[in-house]
């Protein structure tokens, strides 16, 4: 069944399968949003069903919550959990220091809140998400709808003094209408091309009235698990300073391929 997957989906599955091995019964686990995180939720659901894994999941979006319930994971709120053992999520980009750009799926606010309320954060990814310098992927910034055009103008003015290559901004759309997050906000995508000082930019953006949160995750990720289509998986631990390579059997996840659509 796994032979029907594209190489990139195989890589995503490999990273998700390996990350699921860090989850133990009794844990409270943050469940990310996006195509790679969806593989993780399916893997955990298989472990709940077949291996007796007992966990409580805190999803970072309504669609992740729906999927988690479908596969048998007990879903609770962050308020109920209060603190998490682990969050596993995808990323749109990551650099050598494991700093991230997230928010391509529109859930950056909940994702950042959940990740920072965890003992550790693991990012699952394929090799295409690794970059030398953040910024090729548009940086999402969540803004409140009231006065969003003024907020946009303020951001564009501020970017003039930032170490970035581009300053184009765009309101994210959902067809003919603005995209609305789970919290009822809009997203501005900043096309910066290269971010020279991500830490500074993150701080400056969040000081602006109208900005709720930005998609730069600085010093939040502890480990990146990067999958490859041939079954290899690379584990990078920023705290230990280690890089390990393993191999995962693609046939082990055959049960979750049958009805999974991405």
34 is in an annotated binding site: yes
147 is in an annotated binding site: no
- The SS3 assignment for 154 reads helix
Q: How many of the other CB atoms lie within 10 Å of CB of 252?
A: 13
- The SS3 assignment for 174 reads strand
196 is in an annotated binding site: no
Q: How many of the other CB atoms lie within 10 Å of CB of 79?
A: 7
Q: In the chain, where does DSSP find H-type helix?
A: 7-20, 35-51, 62-70, 78-81, 108-116, 148-159, 198-206, 254-257
111 is catalytic: yes
| Phi, psi torsion values for 146, nearest 5 degrees | -60, 120
116 is in an annotated binding site: no
102 is in an annotated binding site: yes
Query: Going by C-beta distance under 8 Å and a sequence separation of 6 or more, which residues neighbour residue 11?
Result: 126, 127, 226, 227, 228, 229
96 is in an annotated binding site: no
105 is in an annotated binding site: yes
33 is in an annotated binding site: yes
Name the burial class of residue 49, with classes exposed (0-12), middle (13-18) and buried (19+) by CB atoms within 10 angstroms of its CB: middle
d(CA 158, CA 152): 10
30 is in an annotated binding site: no
Length of the chain in terms of residues written: 262
In this structure, is the dihedral angle defined by the CA atoms of residues 121, 127, 133 and 134, taken in order, positive or negative? negative
258 is in an annotated binding site: no
241 is in an annotated binding site: no
91 is in an annotated binding site: yes
CA 115 distance to own-chain centroid: 9
Catalytic residue among 46, 93, 111, 234: 111
231 is in an annotated binding site: no
d(CA 98, CA 111): 16
Binding-site members are 33-36, 89-92, 102-105, 129
Active site positions, annotated: 111
Question: Which residues does the annotation place in the binding site for substrate?
Answer: 33-36, 89-92, 102-105, 129
């Amino acid at each position: 069944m796994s032979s029907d997957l594209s190489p990139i989906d195989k890589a995503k599955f490999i990273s998700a399968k390996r990350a699921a091995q860090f989850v133990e019964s009794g844990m409270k686990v943050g469940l990310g949003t996006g195509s790679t995180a969806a593989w993780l939720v399916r893997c955990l659901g298989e472990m709940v069903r077949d291996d007796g894994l007992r966990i409580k999941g805190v999803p970072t979006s309504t669609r992740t919550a729906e999927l988690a319930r479908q596969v048998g994971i007990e879903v609770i709120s962050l308020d109920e959990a209060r603190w998490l053992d682990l969050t596993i999520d995808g990323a749109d980009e990551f650099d050598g220091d494991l700093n991230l750009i997230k928010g391509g799926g529109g859930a950056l606010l909940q994702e950042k809140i959940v990740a920072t309320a965890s003992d550790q954060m693991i990012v699952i990814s394929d090799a295409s998400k690794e970059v030398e310098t953040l910024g090729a992927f548009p940086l999402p910034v969540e803004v409140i709808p009231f006065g969003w055009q003024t907020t946009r103008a303020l951001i564009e003015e501020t970017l003039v003094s930032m170490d970035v290559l581009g300053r184009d901004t765009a309101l994210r759309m959902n067809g003919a209408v603005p995209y609305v997050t789970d919290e009822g906000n809009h997203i501005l995508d900043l096309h910066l091309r290269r971010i020279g000082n991500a830490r500074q930019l993150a701080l400056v953006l969040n000081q602006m009235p109208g900005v709720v949160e930005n998609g730069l995750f600085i010093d939040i990720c502890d480990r990146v698990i990067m999958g490859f289509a041939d079954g290899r998986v690379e584990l990078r631990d920023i705290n230990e300073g280690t890089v390990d390579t393993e191999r995962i059997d693609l046939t082990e996840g055959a049960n979750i391929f049958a009805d999974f659509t991405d």
